């Protein structure tokens, strides 16, 4: 068996683990030596039709990301190519990032940092706590589950939205239709977007959604920028229809330096950085090796997309 792997993201320190574990596999990292490969391990940018058309023996692709919104899924279906993703690799650090954004607003950190720089000692009362609040999570996959798990430690009511009904650990209530989604918007003190981007979720959080939200609601988006109607979000923030927004993703990316979101006092922006972790590469190669083992031994994937 022959596998081509991209080296853009993974360092040799980690890919060597993979190569040493699967001595029966021929791993190649040069494209001109890889066209007869049966499998590819790569970032979404490589997985375009113009590249994949050259691989006539291709049966399986392992993504090095959890998101697959940039992948032409119909192409994979037409060619009967299995697609798996890195679904659990980024969940822990993204869940932690959510709390950093909520606490930024709740603990007046922007003002405290500014005062610290100027040497100003000033008591500023905190008006919000996470405890005893209602947390709405749109998307109950790996990331949503890790967020919910940690939210329960803060003594919160956790509600979630998914496209099909199912009771899940750490969630007090799961909604699955448009009526339930509207209810989630109404109830949530913190609304966290953690759902994949597709034709059904594009602009899911729109003008009508913001009209349903509490005025003290904080919106956190660590999924994809296009899930939120950004113009509607800006209007809600300007009108103080919601308290604030913590955005790790937005439209477009990178966000232009003169974009008005940068200047808004009730916005925290991080540059698609929520998945950053000192452990991400090890988690990623461990997940990749698990997928290779399952492929070789004809076992079911737990991260199969197509």
Q: Which of 162, 224, 243, 283 is catalytic?
A: 224
φ, ψ at 112 (rounded to 5°): -65, -40
Say which residues have a Cβ less than 8 Å from residue 6's Cβ, sequence separation at least 6. 29, 40, 41, 42, 43, 46, 64
Mark whether 129 is an active-site residue.
no
Mark whether 272 is an active-site residue.
yes
For residue 70, the cross-strand partners are none
Mark whether 79 is an active-site residue.
no
Q: Which of 150, 176, 259, 272 is catalytic?
A: 272
φ, ψ at 39 (rounded to 5°): -145, 155
Q: Which of 127, 129, 240, 253 is catalytic?
A: 253
228 contacts 193 by C-beta, under 8 angstroms: yes
Q: How far is CA 191 from CA 133, 212, 221, 244, in A?
A: 11, 12, 8, 11
289 contacts 21 by C-beta, under 8 angstroms: yes
- 3-state secondary structure (DSSP) of residue 61: strand
77 contacts 57 by C-beta, under 8 angstroms: no
Say which residues have a Cβ less than 8 Å from residue 216's Cβ, sequence separation at least 6. 128, 189, 242, 243
Cis amide prior to 234 (ω within 30 degrees): no
Cα–Cα dist 303/305, whole Å: 6
Active-site annotation, residues? 224, 253, 272
């Amino acid at each position: 068996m022959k596998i081509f792997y991209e080296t853009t993201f993974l360092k040799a320190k980690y890919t060597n683990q993979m190569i040493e574990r699967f001595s029966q596999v021929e791993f190649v990292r040069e494209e001109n030596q890889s066209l007869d490969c049966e499998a590819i391990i790569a970032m979404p940018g490589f997985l375009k039709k113009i590249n994949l058309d050259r691989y006539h023996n291709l049966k399986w692709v392992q993504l090095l990301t959890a998101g697959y919104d940039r992948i032409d899924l119909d192409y994979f279906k037409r060619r009967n190519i299995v697609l798996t993703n890195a679904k659990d690799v980024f969940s822990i650090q993204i869940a932690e990032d959510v709390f950093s954004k909520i606490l930024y607003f709740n603990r007046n950190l922007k003002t405290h940092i500014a005062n610290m720089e100027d040497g100003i000692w000033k008591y500023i009362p905190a008006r919000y706590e996470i405890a005893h609040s209602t947390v709405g999570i749109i998307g109950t996959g790996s990331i949503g589950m890790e967020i919910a798990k940690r939210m329960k430690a803060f003594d919160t009511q956790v509600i979630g939205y998914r496209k099909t009904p199912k009771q899940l650990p750490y969630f007090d209530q799961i909604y699955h239709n448009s009526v339930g989604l509207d209810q989630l918007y109404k109830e949530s003190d913190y609304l966290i977007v953690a759902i994949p981007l597709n034709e059904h979720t594009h602009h899911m959080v729109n003008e009508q959604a913001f009209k349903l939200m509490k005025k003290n609601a904080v919106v956190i988006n660590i999924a994809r920028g296009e899930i939120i109607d950004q113009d509607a979000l800006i209007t809600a923030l300007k009108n103080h229809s919601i308290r604030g927004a913590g955005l790790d993703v937005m439209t477009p990316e990178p966000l232009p330096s003169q974009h008005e979101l940068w200047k808004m006092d009730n916005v925290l922006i991080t540059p698609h950085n929520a998945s950053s972790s000192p452990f991400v590469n090890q988690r990623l190669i461990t997940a990749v090796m698990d997928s290779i083992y399952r492929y070789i031994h004809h076992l079911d994937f737990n991260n199969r997309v197509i």
